[in-house]
Structure 1
Amino acid sequence: MSEKNFEIFLVATPGLEQPLAAEARALGWADPEVQPGGVTIHGGWPDVWRANLMLRGATRVLARIGSFRALHLAQLDKRSRKFPWAEVLRKDVPVRVEATCRASRIYHAKAAIQRVERAISEELGAPITPDATLVVKVRIEDDLVTFSLDSTGESLHKRGHKEAVAKAPMRETMAAMFLREMGYDGTQPVLDPMCGSGTFPIEAAEIAAGLAAGRSRGFAFENLASFQPAVWQELRARQQPASAVAPRFFGSDRDAGAIRMSAANATRAGVGDIIRFTCNQIADLQRPDGDAGLVIVNPPYGARIGNKGPLYGLHAAMGEVFRERFRGWKIGFITSEGGLAKATGLPFLPAGPIVAHGGLKIRLWQTGPLD
C-alpha cells in the first residue's frame, strides 16, 4: 500500500451513490467514481480521517490497504503472512476478519477468514476476537484478494448527539442526501411537518452552521497503527463553524413527545437555538415568515397497514395545505408508495432513484417551486 495514495471506498445507502459522489466532489476529492453501493476516491490516511469527519452521506469509510492474487488457500495463507500488518494494525488492539468470495477458486469464506486471522495473530500478535470493533474486510473476486480496513466503527449515521429516536426513523446519512437531491445548499429555510425525532431540520441546520458531521463521536481509525493524533487534532481544529445562522429551520409534529424529543436532540447537536419545533396537525401548518425554501417530509407509507385508505386522505390533505400556503416553496415527499405521492395532487418531477430503507424501497418525489 502506498503511504500517500490508496483507494478509499465510501459506503453509501444503495440508491444514494450519486449525491454522495457530489458531496465528496464538493469537499475537494477529485474524480469520485460511483460504483454499486458506494463511491471510490483516492488519498492517504488524512483523507480517510477527513471523510469520516466531514461526509454526511457515507455510512462508513473503507481503506483499501492492499491486494494480491491467490488461487488457493495455501497461497492466501503465505501472502497474508507476508502482508505488512504492523504498518496499519496495533498488536494491542483486538481485530476480527470478515470475508466474501465471488467467482474465485477460493470459494469458502470461513476458510479464508481462518487463514487471514491466523496470519494476523501469528505474524503481528494482535488478538482475534469475535466482538472486536476493528474489522479487516477480505474480498476475493476473480481470484484477486483485497484487504480493506473499516476505519469507521459504528455506522456514520450515528452522529453522536442523538439519544432519542422516533419509530422508523430516517437515518441522518439518508436525510442529508435527500436534502442534497432537493438542491439544499445551507441557505434555504427547511421545514419538516412530520419531524419525528427531528432528523431533517437538525441535518439542515448543521449544514448551514458549518458543523462537521462526525464532530461528536469517535472512530475505529483512532486505534490503528497509522493514526497520528496530532494531525487529527489539527484537522478537527480547522473545521470552523459559521459565526451566526438565522433561525430558519422548522419542525412540527402532532405528537408532543416527538417535539420534546426533537428539541432535546437539536440542543445536544448545538443547533437548538436556530430550529423552531411546534406541536400541531398538518391542517394547522402555516408557512414561516420570510423567503421560500424546502418542505421535506417522510410520512407514513402504510407498509404494514392493510387499509391504506386513511393515508390517501392524509396525503391529499397535505397536498392541499402545500398548494394553498406554500407558494414558491419546493416540496419533497419520501415514500415507498408512488400512489400516495400522487394522491397529494402536487406537480412532481420524475421520481428519484429507488433507495433501500429498512427492507423497503423508497423514493424521493419532489416538485419545483410551487406556483
Structure 2
Amino acid sequence: MDDRDDFEIFLIATPGLEAPLCAEAKDREFMGARTVAGGVQCSGGWSEVWRANLELRGANKVLVRLGSFPAVHLAQLDKRARKFPWADYLRADIPIKIEATSRKSRIYHAGAARQRIERAISETLGAPISPDSNLRVLLRIEKDICTLSIDSSGEPLHKRGHKPAVAKAPMRETMAAMFLRECGFDGSEPVLDPMCGSGTFVIEAAEIALDLLPGRSRRFAFEDIVGFDNDLWQTMRNRVHPRETAQSFYGSDRNEGAIKASASNAEHANVYQITRFQHRSISDIKPPEGPTGLVIVNPPYGARIGDEKRLRSLYGSLGKVLANRFKGWRVGIITTTPGLARATRLPLLAPGPIVDHGGTKIRLYRTDPLQ
C-alpha cells in the first residue's frame, strides 16, 4: 500500500461546527489540523484517511485531494484528465460516480466538465461510470484551477451503522458529538437528556465515555480504492479496546415509542449497560444519584410563525425544573431563537455560533453549573 504522507485530507464539518471538529482532530493527533472554509484540513497517508473515518465523531465526510492542474477550456481539461494517473487510485472493476462544480472559472459549465472526466476515466481506466456508485470522484474548478478529490467515506459519517431506530426531527450523531464537546463533556461525568427522542445525545455520550470508535460498525468507500489492505484495516479497527467508566447516561421522553427506540439503539451500539431510558414528562425528571454532570437537550423549535409563543411555556417549565432540582449541573440547550432560550430563565452564557441543521439555523445556549 502506498502510504505516502503528502495527501491533503479535508474533513467536511457541519457549518458552524468547524472549531470543535478541528479541536477533535488535534486531540486525535491528525497532522497540521486547521480550520478552513467548510471544514478542517490536515495531511497524511491512506492509513490516516482510514483513521479519520474510523475515529472522528464530528466529520461529515473525509475527502482526499488527489491533485490539481490549471485548465481554461474543456479541451484542455480533457487532455489533462486523460494524463491523470487514475490507476493509482481507482480500480477498473468498481463503478465510479463523478460530481463537478465550477466557480469564477472560464470553464463554467459543470455538467460538460463532469462528462469530460467521466469519459477520461472510462476510456483510459475502463471503470464503469454509475450515478448510483458509492465511490465518488469530485472535480472542483475554482479560478481556472481544477482539483480532483475522492470521497473516502461513502455514506455520510453520521450514519454510524448501529442505530436502526430514528425518531422525528433527529439530531445527527456528528452534530450531537460536537455539541457535547462544546459543553465541555469529555466522558468523565453523567449526561441526562430529558427529551431524548431516539437517544442520540445519550448514546454518543456513552460511546465517548467508553472510547468506542464511531466508525466501528460500517463499511466505507475507501475499501474499494486501489491498495486497500483489509488485514491492516481490521487491525486498526480492533486496536482500541473499550475503556472502563463508572458513569451512567440517562434519557427520558414523554413518548413511549421514543424510549423503546432509544433502548434498542443503545443495545445495537453496545452501550446498553451504561444507559438508562425512562418514560417521563419534563415535570417528572429528577437528577440521578451520584455526581453532577451535564443536562443537554434539543427541544422542539417550531417551524411556523406563532409556534414560538406556544413553545415558550414548554421552555419555561423545563427551565423551572432544572433550576429547582439540578443544582451543580451544567445545561446545554440547542434551539433556534434567543427568545426560546431566554424563556427557560436560566443564567445563559453567550450563545455558540449559528449551526446549519438541515436548513434550520440553531445555536447552543449553555450555563455554568447551576447555583
TM-score, length-scaled by structure 1? 0.98
Query: Cα gap change, 1:349/1:22 in structure 2, threshold over 3 Å: closer, same or farther?
Result: same
Instruction: Give the Cα–Cα distance (whole angstroms) in 1 for the partners of residues 320 and 131 of structure 2.
Output: 54
Shift of 1:357: 0.6
Shift of 1:307: 3.7
Residue 269 (structure 1) aligns with: 269
Deviates more, 1:305-314 or 1:58-67: 305-314
Instruction: Give the Cα–Cα distance (whole angstroms) in 2 for the partners of residues 214 and 307 of structure 1.
Output: 38
1:290 aligns with 2:266: no
Shift of 1:3: 3.0
Instruction: Give the Cα–Cα distance (whole angstroms) in 2 for the partners of residues 310 and 116 of structure 1.
Output: 53
Residue 103 (structure 2) aligns with: 102
Instruction: Give the Cα–Cα distance (whole angstroms) in 1 for the partners of residues 234 and 6 of structure 2.
Output: 21
Q: What per-residue deviation string (whole Å, max 9, x for no partner) do you get for residues 101-125 of structure 1?
A: 0111111101100110011000000
* 8 Å Cα contact 2:4/2:44 also seen in 1: no
Residue 251 (structure 2) aligns with: 251
Instruction: Give the Cα–Cα distance (whole angstroms) in 1 for the partners of residues 335 and 307 of structure 2.
Output: 16
Q: What per-residue deviation string (whole Å, max 9, x for no partner) do you get for residues 195-215 of structure 1?
A: 000000000000101100000
* 8 Å Cα contact 2:92/2:126 also seen in 1: yes
Residue 191 (structure 1) aligns with: 192
* 8 Å Cα contact 2:13/2:38 also seen in 1: yes
Instruction: Give the Cα–Cα distance (whole angstroms) in 2 for the partners of residues 70 and 149 of structure 1.
Output: 20
Q: What per-residue deviation string (whole Å, max 9, x for no partner) do you get for residues 205-262 of structure 1?
A: 00101100000100000001131212211211212211x3234200000111110100
* 8 Å Cα contact 2:352/2:364 also seen in 1: yes
1:9-88 → structure 2 map (5 Å cutoff): 9-88=10-89
* 8 Å Cα contact 1:14/1:36 also seen in 2: no
**Structure 2 runs not aligned, ≥5 long:** none
Instruction: Give the Cα–Cα distance (whole angstroms) in 1 for the partners of residues 41 and 228 of structure 2.
Output: 21
The one-letter amino acid of 2:357's match is: H
Q: What per-residue deviation string (whole Å, max 9, x for no partner) do you get for residues 14-51 of structure 1?
A: 00000000000000113312112110000010010000
Residue 9 (structure 2) aligns with: 8
Shift of 1:327: 0.8
Instruction: Give the Cα–Cα distance (whole angstroms) in 1 for the partners of residues 78 and 227 of structure 2.
Output: 24
Residue 229 (structure 2) aligns with: 228
Residue 112 (structure 1) aligns with: 113
* 8 Å Cα contact 2:254/2:280 also seen in 1: yes
* 8 Å Cα contact 1:12/1:38 also seen in 2: yes
* 8 Å Cα contact 2:163/2:265 also seen in 1: yes
* 8 Å Cα contact 1:45/1:226 also seen in 2: no
* 8 Å Cα contact 1:190/1:295 also seen in 2: yes
Instruction: Give the Cα–Cα distance (whole angstroms) in 2 for the partners of residues 133 and 121 of structure 1.
Output: 17
Instruction: Give the Cα–Cα distance (whole angstroms) in 2 for the partners of residues 37 and 63 of structure 1.
Output: 15
Deviates more, 1:354-363 or 1:25-34: 25-34
Aligned length: 370
Shift of 1:147: 0.3
Q: What per-residue deviation string (whole Å, max 9, x for no partner) do you get for residues 307-360 of structure 1?
A: 433311111111111111111111000001210100000011100000001211
* 8 Å Cα contact 2:101/2:141 also seen in 1: yes
* 8 Å Cα contact 2:22/2:35 also seen in 1: yes
Residue 127 (structure 2) aligns with: 126
Q: SS at 1:24's partner residue?
A: helix
* 8 Å Cα contact 2:189/2:247 also seen in 1: no
The one-letter amino acid of 2:313's match is: G
The one-letter amino acid of 2:142's match is: E
* 8 Å Cα contact 1:133/1:153 also seen in 2: yes
The one-letter amino acid of 1:267's match is: E
* 8 Å Cα contact 1:69/1:145 also seen in 2: yes
Instruction: Give the Cα–Cα distance (whole angstroms) in 2 for the partners of residues 149 and 293 of structure 1.
Output: 41
Instruction: Give the Cα–Cα distance (whole angstroms) in 2 for the partners of residues 348 and 303 of structure 1.
Output: 23
Q: SS at 1:99's partner residue?
A: strand
Instruction: Give the Cα–Cα distance (whole angstroms) in 2 for the partners of residues 115 and 258 of structure 1.
Output: 49
Instruction: Give the Cα–Cα distance (whole angstroms) in 1 for the partners of residues 32 and 336 of structure 2.
Output: 32
Deviates more, 1:270-279 or 1:31-40: 31-40
Shift of 1:2: 8.6
Deviates more, 1:148-157 or 1:298-307: 298-307
* 8 Å Cα contact 2:89/2:226 also seen in 1: yes
* 8 Å Cα contact 2:139/2:146 also seen in 1: yes
* 8 Å Cα contact 1:247/1:273 also seen in 2: no
Shift of 1:272: 0.6
The one-letter amino acid of 1:19's match is: P
TM-score, length-scaled by structure 2? 0.98
1:318 aligns with 2:318: yes
Q: SS at 1:28's partner residue?
A: coil
The one-letter amino acid of 1:43's match is: G
